[in-house]
Structure 1
Amino acid sequence: MSNGNDGLDTLLIGIDAACEPVLERLIETDSIPNLESLIDRGASGPLTSQIPPWTPSAWPSMYTGVNPGKHGVYGFVTFDGYDWEVVTANHVREHALWTLLESHDLTSVIVNVPVTYPADEIDGAIVPGFIGPENPKGHPEGILEEIREEIGEYRVYPNYSRGDDHKTDREKMDEYCALARMRGEAFRYLTGRFEPDFGFVEFQKTDTVFHEFEGDVEKVQRIYEATDEQIGRILEECEPDRVFVASDHGMGPYENYEFRVNEFLREEGYVEAVTGGKGMPSWNPIRNQLQAGDDETRWEPGTVERLAAKAASIGITPKQVGRVLRRVGLDSVVKRYVPSGVTRTGSEQVDFPSSRAYMRARTELGVRINLEGRDPEGIVSQDEYENVRRELIDRLSGVRTPDGDPVFGEVVPREEYFWGPYVDEAVDVITVPNEFDQFLSAQLVGTQFGPPTEPWNHKLDGLFVATGEGIDADADLSGAHLFDVAPTIMAALGVPHSDRMDGSVLPVVEEMGVEEYPAYAGDESTTRDDETVEKRLADLGYLE
């Protein structure tokens, strides 16, 4: 319960992709003294993430305490048949931690947590983060404008796009550090303004630095130093009684192969290919529309894209056009004449309605069966379903790299990882990369294996830290899971957790029991304001 003074009762610091291997190197160089102190004074250990261990699904699992089968978000995009759009908080169909706390008259301040736009209306404040718009309305109304009046500039995303060569790496890292500063300043201001019982602030560029700069040691160190500085200021000014640190997943090098799942499925007779249409699920084309001033969350090929698809059908591909332009010395205009939308529609891609099974998006970590009665043009009958699924599991389980190693550590039915009312929205077969050292791709590029598109990417083990008043610093955290964070935070605040949560209270705090909370009845629409975010999402390179 509230501690009765001006300090926070309980603080949760989210650090995207934080994990022991990364922090150990930073501790050796004295780069993160505040995080190091929290670790030394409390209980800490690996926090096993969920499947799939990617931001848009993992953070909702953390803040609801339930698996994706119960909250309904499996990746960056959600599907309507074979069509897709970027997820929002309206797709998260379970109560967030802060709404449950409010039922016990506990107030919250939430800053920059992914997939929190549109913001819940709570007693306190929410400034949405990643996958929200650049200028999220937040809660209460006008809170973002108030923050900017108080601290100056505040942005959700960097002021450049990934791959932008108009800024130097130093300038880009300056922007990374500026974003970390904005998170800290906004959180400190809101904590002073609302005096909440619970505070949750998330730092996201600690993940992006690995994707954009391929794990460059100096750049990783710089953003962690900036993040640690903000953590120190929050601890000093907000005076929390208890502090928790949690990450959504880990991060590490991918030193083996990229396996193109749909190429394998095509060779096995499951995937049919087509030129034309929208291409594989991605936010890239939506980003382009938004940069042009359009306010749409879906993308349909325009005249130029349709012409590109027609040209490809007679053998003239975007790659050929690009080669010709380069040959005559026009490299600088290749992107202008072969834009991403043209490349998408002019390239070979999965024909979803005609395929028996396929990978929709690589971050889903699995294969979807085109099932009759469930999918709009399903061609696998209900009677065939289990046989087809067993066959897929057997064939995928046997895939070996060119070196003879297994590509997958597990190939299992989705029920092994998902349960709840939204299981049918998941893939049918889960494909977990072997030790998360094989990079999966959904693209059709002609060959099954190649080097990883990204040499650094997500690992399964993140980080959990607990310290402060009433925390058992000697607690055994072995087996700690992402789903355990929400019930543990509730117990730390002296209230029972939800009976629908899949996690348990970790032994760092005393168990407060379980309570039946009202069923979730939120708005499942996907309305957005005039300033949407998809133009920024491709900058992290999660989808192809």
Structure 2
Amino acid sequence: MGVKSLLIGLDGATFTVLDPLMEQGVLPFLRSFMEEGVRAGLRTVVPPLTPPAWTSLLTGRTPGHHGIFDFFQLDAPGSKQIRLTTSHDLRCETIAQLVNRYGLRATVLNFPVHFPPPALDGYVIAGWMPWRQLRLGCHPADLYDRLKQLPGFHPRELAMDMSLEAKATEGCSEDEYVDWAELHARRERHWLAVARHLIQKDPTELVAILLDGPDKIQHLCWRFLDPSLWPERPTPEERRIREACLAYFRQLDGVLEEMVAMAGPEATVVIASDHGFGATTEVFHVNTWLEQAGYLAWSTEAPVDEEQDGLLGMGHLSRHTRWLDWERTRAYAATPTSNGIHIVTAEHNDGHGVRPEEYARFRAELADALRNVTDPVTGEQVVSRIWTREEAFPGEAAGCAPDLTLELRDGGLVSILPADMPLRPRPRPAGAHRPVGVFIARGPGIRQGMAFKELSILDMAPLLLYSMALPVPADLEGRVPLEIFEPSFRAKRRVETAPAVGQREQLSTDSARESAYDEEAEAVLVARLRDLGYIE
């Protein structure tokens, strides 16, 4: 049997960029695909961040239920130690696992939180993998050796690693932008070759593939892509960088066309992004603000402002354990990616911190103080919205989530680094995540040439199940967006509900390692953590 449903993830895709490029003829296939199907904005979860968002799309559950909040995870509620998020932290079944439950097979390529790879009936290549570990991220075990036989197979360009992720978030020299765009154009071709091989040799009913070039390019090159930021008189170098970005999108359009053709005319094809994009123009050093407000104290090991690399602190993620004076700190941000603040509680910090009876009052006081942070020049509010843990992450898995999650006025990320002032302008606008991404779909029964205002990212898993004529478990939090289908199709295919699947317990660190990693894999992961600065 061939492909029934194809999900193409475009990380960070936004109509702010795609619409002008379609009008300019850069994306002719995508434009025709959209005209033959439907489109809508796709509202993501809080925070609008890759791991929780893609996990919500694939599970139909919010982070408070599936347990993924960031690229990084606290070891336990109240812990000061953070580690890379893995598939062991996932509490809910993904769409691929649900498809397996119903006797069908699935292929999942390049999605985060798939390492160690789940033992699907089908194929998995985990995303967000350092290339030296790519073999460990493949399922079945012989898949990597089979891929090595493909002409032009290039694991170093196929996979990702933390140094590249940090470059996308922190920034790099503009001299590297053209090479950066060209690298991601090649990466998408590599993923196309892998998908082609698997679909031609052994097609599964569900195929899901993530192309993450849009996110990586927009982080660095947003001002070359956003029409509102493009100068009237660009320099030759600005033109060169923009043309490299457009060349990437032209090639992406060709990749999409080939993937859709491979799936066949009877397949339902869904193109979706995990979040949108917009400009960020400043950096809020939240730990510096917490210090100045009396909530945080640096230790003698914290660097002075001049000693740091980067704007946000991606290279210093675990070092806050040494940089903070834990006897005097009551609140801190552990990572720049989640925009989250953790409250230090006395029960988890040898009696130092906020006592249980003080917690609600303290958190409310801290949130009010953050709402009153203003730009010293304009007087404008810096933090536009604040969620408590219960508001942002309702569910049984919320114990490791931040106590407060911030939305900044420019949509950017906080910095965890010490600084001489809490708020600094960026030298140039960069790209940052926004809460509304893209949804485009075409296939049997789907209306043609229609635009809908907005769907939820939680609707994607129910939609894919419905497109394959499979039941939708009762505990999925999204819905089947029936409005995108023709009435005659809806009349023939009713939404069938299945019993709730439920959640699994999170594996402890020790049991997770025991069940997943052999001695060789353990050594590779330890080396990876050392490279990232998690261990000395």
TM range (shorter): 0.7 to 0.9
- In structure 2, give the amino acid aligned to 1:37: S
- 1:260 equivalent in alignment to 2:285: yes
Superposed CA deviations along residues 296-330 of structure 1, whole A, max 9, x for unmatched, are xxxxxxxxxxxxxxxx7xxxx6947x9xxxxxxxx
Q: 1:429 to 1:514 in 2, by over 3 A?
A: same
1:379 and 2:379 are equivalent in the alignment: no
- Contact 2:340 2:405 (C-alpha < 8 Å) held by counterparts: yes
Quote the residue 1:51 is aligned against.
Answer: 46
Equivalent residue number for residue 140 of structure 1:
140
Give the secondary-structure state (helix, strand or coil) at the position aligned to 2:139: coil
Q: Distance in 2 between matches of 1:401 and 1:318?
A: 20
Partner of 1:14: helix, strand, or coil?
Answer: strand
Instruction: Check the 8 A contact 1:131/1:533 in 2, yes or no.
Output: no
Mapped contact 1:371–1:381 kept (Cα < 8 A): yes
Which residue in the other structure is 2:233 paired with? none
Specify the alignment match of 2:425 in structure 1: 451
SS at match of 2:210: strand
Segment of structure 1 superposing worse, 380-389 or 143-152: 143-152
Structure 1 counterpart of 2:501, from 517, 527, 534: 517
Match among 322, 332, 335 for residue 358 of structure 1: 332
- 1:188-212 per-residue CA deviation (whole Å, 9 max, x = no partner) reads 1111222211110110121111234
Amino acid at match of 2:107: V
* CA drift at 1:479: 3.8
| In 2: Cα distance, 1:242 partner to 1:100 partner | 17
Is 1:413 equivalent to 2:393 in the alignment?
no
Tell me which amino acid in the other structure corresponds to 1:391: E
Is contact 1:109–1:194 with CA below 8 Å preserved after alignment?
no
- Secondary structure of the corresponding residue to residue 149 of structure 2: helix
Q: Which position in structure 1 is the counterpart of 2:458?
A: 483
* Larger CA deviation: 482-491 vs 427-436: 427-436
Asked if 1:209 is matched to 2:211, the reply is no
- Going by fraction, where is helix more abundant, 1 or 2? 2
Shift of 1:214: 4.7
Task: Mark the runs of 5 or more structure 2 residues left unpaired by the alignment.
Answer: 225-241
Q: Aligned letter for 2:339?
A: L
Further displaced range: 168-177 or 54-63: 168-177
Aligned to 1:326: none
Q: Is the partner of 1:144 in helix, strand or coil?
A: helix
TM-score, structure 1 as length reference: 0.80
Q: 1:342 & 1:521 partners in 2: Cα distance?
A: 30
Pairing 1:367–2:341 present: yes
- Any conservation in 2 of the 1:87–1:131 contact (CA below 8 Å)? no
The CA distance in 1 between the partners of 2:498 and 2:350, in whole Å, is 40
Q: Contact 1:275–1:346 at 8 Å: present in 2 too?
A: no
How many aligned positions are there?
A: 478
Superposition pairs for residues 499-510 of structure 1, below 5 Å? Answer: 499-507=474-482, 508-509=484-485, 510=490
Go from structure 1 to structure 2 and tell me whether the alpha carbon gap of 1:376 and 1:365 turns closer, same or farther (over 3 Å shift). farther
Q: Any idea what SS the aligned residue of 1:44 has?
A: strand
213-222 or 93-102: bigger deviation:
213-222
Work out which of the residue numbers 172, 196, 205 in structure 2 matches 1:197: 205
Amino acid at match of 1:395: A
Asked whether the 8 Å contact 2:34–2:449 carries over to 1, the reply is no
Partner of residue 269, structure 1: 294
With 218-227 and 119-128 compared, the bigger mean Cα shift is at: 218-227
Pairwise mapping of residues 242-261 of structure 1 onto structure 2 (< 5 A)?
Answer: 242-255=268-281, 257-261=282-286
Q: CA deviation at 1:370?
A: 0.8
Cα separation, 1, equivalents of 2:447 and 2:148: 39
- In structure 2, the partner of 1:79 is 74
25, 44, 53: which one aligns with 1:30: 25
CA 1:54–1:264 in structure 2 vs 1: closer, same or farther (change >3 Å)? same
Query: What corresponds to 2:119 in structure 1?
Result: 121
Q: Which residue in the other structure is 2:398 paired with?
A: 423
1-structure distance, mates of 2:268, 2:393: 32
Residue 259 of structure 1: how far off its partner (Å): 1.6
Q: Structure 1 residue 152 and structure 2 residue 152: aligned? A: yes
Using the TM superposition, give the Cα deviation of residue 352 of structure 1 relative to its aligned residue in structure 2, in angstroms: 4.5
Q: Give the secondary-structure state (helix, strand or coil) at the position aligned to 2:150.
A: helix
For residues 440 and 357 of structure 1, what CA distance do their matches in structure 2 show?
Answer: 14
The CA deviation at 1:45 is 1.2
Paired amino acid for 1:517 = V
- SS of alignment partner, residue 141 of structure 1: coil
For each residue in 1:388-407, what CA deviation from the matched residue of structure 2 results, as whole angstroms up to 9, or x when unmatched? Answer: 01111211112222312221
CA distance in 1, matches of 2:346, 2:506: 30
Q: Bigger shift: 454-463 or 525-534? A: 525-534
Q: TM-score, normalised by structure 2?
A: 0.81
Alpha carbons 1:39, 1:465 under 8 Å: kept: yes
Q: Could you tell me how far apart the structure 1 residues matched to 2:194 and 2:442 are?
A: 23
The 1:516–1:376 alpha-carbon spacing in structure 2 relative to 1, beyond 3 Å, is farther
Q: 1:318 to 1:360 in 2, by over 3 A?
A: closer
Q: CA deviation at 1:461?
A: 1.0
Provide, for residues 485-544 of structure 1, a one-character-per-residue CA deviation record: whole Å limited to 9, x for no partner. 1111111111122222222222235533243225435755255525459969999xxxxx
- 1 CA distance for matches of 2:50 and 2:419? 26
Any conservation in 2 of the 1:115–1:131 contact (CA below 8 Å)? no
* 5+ residue gaps, structure 1: 280-311, 323-333, 540-544
Verify the 8 A CA contact 2:375 2:382 in the aligned structure 1.
yes
Residue 19 (str. 1) matches residue 45 (str. 2) = no
Q: Secondary structure at the match of 1:201?
A: strand
Structure 1 pair 40–475 and aligned structure 2 pair: CA distance change class (3 A) = closer
Aligned to 1:442: 416
Judging changes above 3 Å, is the alpha-carbon distance between structure 1 residues 342 and 191 closer, same or farther for their aligned structure 2 residues? closer
State how far apart, in whole Å, the 2-side matches of 1:381 and 1:231 are. 54
Q: Matched residue of 1:384: which SS? A: helix
Question: Any conservation in 2 of the 1:119–1:128 contact (CA below 8 Å)?
Answer: yes
| Counterpart residue identity of residue 229, structure 1 | G
Q: CA RMSD in A?
A: 3.3
SS at match of 2:207: strand
Task: Tell which deviates more after alignment, 529-538 or 145-154.
Answer: 529-538
Task: Name 1:468's counterpart in structure 2.
Answer: 443
Output the amino acid matched with 1:147.
L
Q: Residue by residue, what CA displacement relative to the aligned partner does 1:42-64 show, whole Å, maximum 9, x if unpaired?
A: 11111011111111221111111
SS of the equivalent of 1:451 reads strand
Query: 1:60 and 2:55 equivalent?
Result: yes
Moved more, 383-392 or 35-44: 35-44
